[in-house]
Amino acid sequence: MGSLWEARPQKKPTDVTGHSNLAKIHGMECVFCERISLGDTILQTDLAVAFFDKFPVSPGHVLIVPRRHEIDFFRLTEEEQEEIWGLVDLTRKHIETKHSPDGYNIGINAGKAAGQTVAHAHLHIIPRYLGDVEDPRGGIRWVLPSQAPYWEKE
């Protein structure tokens, strides 16, 4: 087995028990599990994979997801979380082979109240480019717009 953090060649996707990881939710297949099963990934470890977002908010937007179907990021095992976070820098390097971002937003929408719309835990790596918004100050703080411009409250 190679280093936990190196990209591995594609192999038949399975979960940690060696079984197919295509989960069904209310009779529907999970879109992320389906992408994993199809090998539609750019990087992978034993417990996590990365792939380009089908609806990117910027060029190079990537998602890192656990192989095992789990809705809640906080219910992932410690090992799954470590492998997800371990893919962040490799994913950044992969993005930079095709794009030249000036910065990044990295985030997790955990739960409906936080804006999670796909019922499979995932981490977003969103490349940012100078000029992509008028004023990028506050970054992720804009999820609650009334609280974002803290510099105006001083």
Active-site residue set? 122
Question: Which three-class secondary structure state does DSSP give residue 11?
Answer: coil
CB 65 within 8 A of CB 32: yes
Residue with token string 């893919």: 87
Residue with token string 């717009």: 145
CB 108 within 8 A of CB 122: yes
Residue 55's alpha-carbon distances to 35, 62, 63, in angstroms, are: 14, 10, 11
The Cα 69–Cα 28 span in angstroms is 13
